[in-house]
Structure formats: C-alpha cells, structure tokens
A and B are shown apart, each in its own frame.
Chain A
Amino acid sequence: MKSSLRKIVLATAALVAPFVATPVMAEKYILVSHAPDSDTWWNTIKNGIALAGEQVGVDVEYRNPPTGDIADMARIIDQAAASNPDGIITTLADFDVLKGSITAAVDQGIDVIIMNTGTPEQAREVGALMYVGQPEYDAGLAAGQRAKGEGVTKFLCVNHAIQQPTVGERCRGYADGLGIDLGDAMMDSGTDPSEIKNKVLAYLSANPDVDGILTLGPVSADPTIAALEENGMAGDIHFGTFDLGEEIVKAIKGGVINWGIDQQPFLQAYMPVVILANWDRYGVLPGNNINSGPGFVTKDGLTKVEEFAGEYR
C-alpha cells in the first residue's frame, strides 16, 4: 500500500515537473518550425538552438505544429508573440498563411529572423531582420549543373513533401541545371518508407533510361537507397540528395550516393540565436542575409559529418 502510494506521488511529480519553469532573467527566443513531429531532420535544429542557448546564455524554445499543418503553425506564432519573447525565429513555409502572424509579431516590437524555408525577398516583406538558409532554387540549380558534368541525362526527383512548394523548387532548379524539362520527373512519393521504396522501384523499371536520381531529404533518400540496393542499381546510377543523415552518410561512404547537399541546418538554428542575442545586447547586426548552404559533401572529408550525423550535421 505504502509503496503504491509512493509510486503515485512519483508519477504525479514526473508529470508536473516539466511545468516548473526556470527563473526568467535572460533573453528569450522562440523557434517555430513547420515540421511535423515525425520529421527527424529537425533534431539538428533542436540541438542547434539548445547549444546556442547554452553558449550564449539565453532561454530558447522549439515549437512546431504536431501534424505539420501550416494553419496551426500560424496560431503557434500568434501564441509565441503573445508570450512576449525577445525574438522569434521562424520558417516561412507558406507566405500567404504566415505573413499576417509574422508581421503582427514584428509590429508588436518582437525581432524576427526567417530561417530555413522562405526567400530573402519574403523575409524583407514581413519585416524580418534577415534570412538564414539555403535558397532552394539556387541550390537545385547548382546540383543540376554538377550532375550534368557528371553525365546525367534523364532523372527522377523523389519529392516527399509535395505540399511544400518551396521544396519542389529544388527539383525545378535541378532540371534547369541539367538543361532539360522537368516534365513528370518529379514524383509525389508520400512519406511512408515502404511506399517510397516501391514507388521508386516501379518508376525505375518503367523508365530504364533514367540515369540520375535526386532525393530531397532523408525521408525520401533512405528508402531510395534501399530500393537501389534491392534492384542492383546501387552505385551504378548517379544519385544525389539534399540534406544529410546517418543512412545518407553511410551511402556516400559506400559509393551509393555521389554527393549530399548540406544546407547545414545547425547554422540555421545557431546563427539566429547568436545574432539576436548580440542585436539585443550590443545593437550589432550583420549587413546581409546568411546563406547556410549549399555545401556538397562527398566521400572526402566525411569524418566530422559522420561523427555528428543526425546530431549537429
């Protein structure tokens, strides 16, 4: 009886513990992303702001809509503004939907930095201090130009985030870099790994002349690696991907993936915190937007990437 009572007390304490907030003295910055809980890529972002918060000595919080619903994200930005932080760092996944909430936060006197998704133009329009990220079309274009030099003539672009127009820009840029028409080369793969794998297998057997694949992140890259290993095209077909992850690093090392385009999400989370803190404390601000990528990661120089894959890289 006594022990069961103690268990109940302990369980209650464990549930209430997260409520007990630390005394608020330092500046507070809130990062709002558009990613659903299921997207593990954002772990790097979470670690990035946590590390920056620790090193700079500010309070940081990470928030996202659990299902990735952008309309819910607008409410989260409203909420963040209502809690009156010193700054908000947010993605601009859908300009129409988020414009109102972000502009209202700016007008309320909160400093905003746009990270990851969005464009420098949009960041300027909503009144943000700056944009930190990788311009999607330009990154795709660079990837396409490089792939052209490496002999790709017909490609498949595996898009796991068809609802985000900005991600699709990578495919368009890639096609333009190759100098060919996008046509139906962009596949709406969904996010389920086995679905992606089977769709890729089906597409490749239906289109035997495809000699290049572009995946847009670990969500589509990991199942595509599995698909290529199954149909024996691994290492034979040209394979480029956006973003890094444990499986991708392994595949680069094993020669299945030619290169990964690193947009260095760590910087997208880390830099805004540092910039906001210095802006609030000393009034200094870099004079331009910051391009965190693209950086091509090939077999050479994988050590650091491997060590911190999924954590800081």
Chain B
Amino acid sequence: MIDSVQDERVRQIPWWRKALIRPELGGIVGTIAVFALFSVFAADSGMFKPQGILNWSIVSAQFMIIAVGACLLMIAGEFDLSVGSMIGFAGMMIAVFGIVLDLPIWIAILITFVICAAIGAINGLIVVKTGLPSFIVTLAFLFILRGFTIFIPQTIERKTIIGGIKDAAEGDWLAPVFGGKIGQPLFTWLGEAGYIDTFQRGTKQGQPVIDGVPMLIVWAILLIIFGHILLTKTRFGNWIFAAGGDAEAARNSGVPVGKVKVLMFVFTAFCATVFATCQVMEFGSAGADRGLLKEFEAIIAVVVGGALLTGGYGSVIGAALGALIFGVVQQGLFFAGVDNSLYRVFVGVILLAAVILNTYIRRLITGER
C-alpha cells in the first residue's frame, strides 16, 4: 500500500535528466562540437587518418596526465602552479642521475619520483600548515624549481640540455614502461594489410608509419581510471569533495582535511613526473625549458571539463574530456591550416565558452542560483 504511494515531497527526476545533467556534460558537448567542427574543416587534411589520430591523441594524452592530478587537487580546493616547472625539473633529475652520475636508468627514475613526491608533499605541508593560498606557495615553487632546472645542469655540465638518455636506457627494465610502445604486431599487420601507410624509403621502408601505441597514452588512460574510481567509488573520494567544499565543516565531521590535501599535492607531483619521464624516455634528452606554461594548460583542461575553481565540484572524466578538447583543438588548428598566431584566440574562446556553459549546468545540478 505504502509502496505504491508516491511521496509528493520528493521531486521526481526523470531518468534522462539524471543521465544527462552531470558535471562532464559540458565536456561531452564540447568534445562533440570540436570533432564536428574539425571533421568539416579538416576533413581531407589527414587529421582523421591513423597517423593524424595518433598525433592529436598523444598531445591530448599529455594534457590528460597532468589534468587528472590538477583535477583532483582542484576538487580538494587547491591549485598547483608548479606543475610545468616540476616537469622540467623531474626530467632534468632523471638526466642528472642517469647520465651525469651514471646510475642505472631505473634507479634514476625511482629517485626522481621520490624527490618530486617529496617536493609535492612540501608544497602541500606549507599550504596546510601556514594556511597560505596554494596559489602563492606553488607560484614560489614555479620559480624555485625552474631555477634549479637551469642552474644544476649549467653548473655541472655547462649546458642546459642533457642528452644521451636513450642510449643509457637501452636494455633497462623500467624505461620502456614510460617510453615504450605497445601493440606493435597489430600495427605491423595493419601496415601489411594496407590499412595504414608504410614508410616509402629509408631504413624503415615497408614498416607502418605507426609502430605502436606509446605508453604515454596508456598512462593517461590508467590515471583517468584510477582518478575516476578514487573520486567516485571510495570514501577517500568523498573526503576530497568535502575538503574542497567546506574545509571547516569537513574537519568537524572528522575528515582529515590536511592529509587529503597533502596527498593530492603529492599525486599532482606524481602526475607531472610521469609526464616528464615519458617525455625524457621518448626524446632521449632533458632540457631546462621543458614544460613551460603546462600548469595553465592543466588548469584550463580541468576547468573546461567542468570543475569549479574554488573546489568541491568536478569530475575526472570531465577533466579528461577537457584535455581531449584542448589537444584536438591545438593540433586540429594546424591540420585546418589556421594561422598559427590565432591559436591563443581559440584557446581563450573555448575556455570562456566552456566556463559559461559549465556554470549553467552546475546550477541545474546543485540548484544554486
């Protein structure tokens, strides 16, 4: 009897509305929009051939790796502006330990991860202990880390680019986890079957132009899955939302806000180090200017993906879509033959449009006005 009576105090939400009105709706709409746009304007430019797809996928994956970290941190209510400098610094550390000090590459990578995680923790501890805005604290580290990234190689090697990492990583067990490729047999088969182009000349003649999926993309997917599950399926995920929503209320209800925030800073540093390690292993050198402005690209991807700058709201899937939009637009503009100097204009327009759209969606969800 009671079961069949509807409680008129609870508003019924139709299923389609529940499925549609989500934080990542803006990201989904944006993704469809950019793909529609470029499939019209860059249709026969090679953008949607295997080689072109791989190109913008790699660039998007780069953004995704740092966006996942930045997203969780932003939901926890903090920023990290030192991400770009951390990328340069981490790469340089691997080169210093692996080339200058001649340690095995896997040890160099592990030491670098420990150092960078520690720096992330220091970032977090300073923010939590002093109550200073993370904006200022991490801005300081933006300069400190970049400074060391230039100073250290300049002092010990008299140059700002340290190369030779590819040779040193030959036969190393950990290096391929970051710089390797998977699925080579599949692509060889695709090449032989004529589904993808093959090299016309040179030492690789006859081999497919794509010889595998870079680990960079695998890392991006793994980090997105990890971040999404952590955020939506675990108690710790609730703590992240709580810490960024109202830290005081969260503390009163027993959430270890300080610990959550410090761990998120460490995770952001981890993501930056993954980015740097993949880059160094792929290109075989570390440069003092790597990662410039990447912190803003991460934040833009996260915001385009629907997260709130002030914390407490957002989604990892949204951030990943934001990164995809960013990557597709950046490379797509090249494919469409748009004047290079207009790139920033498009980034600005997309950012603005996404933020406005996301604000409306958020109001629909939370009911705020």
A interface residues (Cβ-Cβ under 8 A, vs B): 15, 18-21, 37, 61-64, 66-71, 74-76, 78-84, 94-97, 100, 103-104, 106-109, 127, 162-163, 165, 168, 188
Question: Chain B nearest CB: distance from A6 CB in Å?
Answer: 20
Chain B residues contacting A80 (CB-CB under 8 Å) are 334
- Inter-chain CA distance A91–B39, complex, in Å, is 30
Give the number of residue pairs across the A-B interface with Cβ within 8 Å: 123
> A100–B55 contact, CB under 8 A?
no
**B201 interface residue (CB < 8 Å to A):** yes
A15 in complex: contacting residue of B55, B160, B349, CB < 8 Å: B349
Query: Is B343 at the interface (CB under 8 A from chain A)?
Result: yes
Interface status of B285 (Cβ within 8 A of chain A): yes
Does A97 lie within 8 Å of B204, measured CB to CB?
no
Contact of A19 with B59 in the complex, beta carbons under 8 Å: no
Most buried by B among A21, A71, A127: A71
Question: For residue B47, which residues in chain A have a CB less than 8 angstroms away from its CB?
Answer: 82-83
In the complex the two chains form, is A21's CB within 8 Å of B161's CB? no
Complex CA gap A4/B161 in Å reads: 53
Establish whether residues B334 and A108, one from each chain, have CB atoms under 8 Å apart when the complex forms.
no
Taking CB atoms, residues of chain B closer than 8 Å to A19 are 37, 41, 336, 338
With A63-B340, A82-B46, A107-B200 as known contacts, state yes or no: A68 contacts B289, CB within 8 Å. yes
Given contacts A97-B283, A107-B200, A162-B150, contact A83 B289 (CB under 8 A): no
Q: How far is the CA of A41 from the CA of B23 in the complex (A)?
A: 44
Quick check: A78 and B150 within 8 Å, CB to CB?
no
Contacts of B209 in A (CB 8 A): 104, 108
Chain B interface size, under 10 / 10 to 19 / 20 to 34 / 35 or more: 35 or more
Knowing A21-B41, A21-B337, A78-B55 are in contact, say whether A163-B285 is a contact too (CB < 8 A).
no
A163-B289 contact in complex given A18-B338, A19-B336, A96-B163, C-beta closer than 8 Å: yes
Q: For the complex, what is the distance from the CA of A197 to the CA of B209, rounded to whole Å?
A: 49
Chain B residues with Cβ below 8 Å from A100 are 283
CB distance A37 to B334 under 8 Å?
A: no
Contact A94 B287 (CB under 8 A): yes
Q: A79-B55, A83-B45, A188-B150 are in contact. Are A94 and B335 (CB under 8 A)?
A: no
Q: Does B290 contact A (CB under 8 A)?
A: yes
CB-CB under 8 A for A18 and B334, given A106-B202, A109-B201: no
Chain B residues whose C-beta falls within 8 Å of the C-beta of A168 in the assembled complex: 159
**Cα–Cα distance between A71 and B335 once the two chains are bound (Å):** 19
A to B CB contacts below 8 Å, 30 in the list: A19-B41, A64-B340, A66-B344, A67-B292, A69-B291, A70-B290, A71-B283, A79-B335, A82-B46, A82-B47, A82-B52, A82-B55, A83-B52, A83-B334, A94-B285, A95-B163, A97-B283, A97-B284, A107-B199, A107-B200, A107-B201, A107-B202, A108-B197, A108-B199, A109-B200, A162-B154, A165-B159, A165-B160, A165-B161, A168-B159
Given A18-B339, A109-B200: A71 touches B290 (CB 8 Å cut-off): yes
A106–B283 alpha-carbon span in the complex (Å): 18
In the bound complex, residues from chain B placing their C-beta under 8 Å from that of A104 are 199, 204, 209
Give complex CA distance A66, B334 in Å.
12
Contact with A along B338-368 (1 / 0, CB 8 A): 1111111000010000000000000000000
- Do the beta carbons of A82 and B154 come within 8 Å of each other? no
Residue of B nearest to A76 (CB): B334
Q: How far apart are the CA atoms of A109 and B284 in the complex, in Å?
A: 25
Report B129 CB to chain A, min CB distance, Å. Answer: 33
Please give 9 more A-B residue pairs, beta carbons under 8 A apart, in addition to A19-B338, A107-B205. A20-B41, A37-B344, A68-B289, A69-B289, A78-B58, A96-B284, A97-B287, A107-B204, A163-B160
